[in-house]
Amino acid sequence: AGYTIIPVYPKEETILGEKVYRSLHDIPFPVDMVNIFRKADALVAIAEECVKRGDIKVFWAQKGIVNNEAAEQAKSAGMRVVQNHCTMVEHRSLNS
């Protein structure tokens, strides 16, 4: 759909043909949205990392993932927050 997906994962070198970064901090260019596929208890640390970066516009937790503390932290830093929704499903519904 014209988006570049930058994977963050500690165990691979490339995913979907893209270089994998070990953390958000390691990505050397602006990031618009963080799309999170982690357990809910990991979201606070991810929100903290997003706030430190300062360039994240959207903090998105996938279907089944909710952490209101992390959501409030991201909102307070000016990010749009989505929880418990699948980006693929939402993108399809917007473009159908």
Cα 59 to Cα 14, 72, 96, distances in angstroms: 23, 11, 24
> Helices then strands (H, E): number in the chain?
3, 5
In contact, 36 and 62? CB cutoff 8 Å: yes
> So what's the pLDDT on residue 56?
97
Entry pTM: 0.91
Residue ranges covered by each domain of the chain: 30-94
Q: Which DSSP state fits 73?
A: H
Q: Which two tokens stand for residue 32?
A: 């618009």
Q: Which candidate, 79, 76, 69, places its Cα nearest to that of 34?
A: 79
What pLDDT tens digit does each residue of the chain (96 aa) get? 778 899 999 899 999 999 999 999 999 999 999 999 999 999 999 999 999 999 999 999 999 999 999 999 999 999 999 999 999 999 888 876
Task: State the burial class of residue 74 (Cβ atoms within 10 Å of its Cβ: 0-12, 13-18, 19+).
Answer: buried
* CATH H-level superfamily of 30-94: NAD(P)-binding Rossmann-like Domain (3.40.50.720)
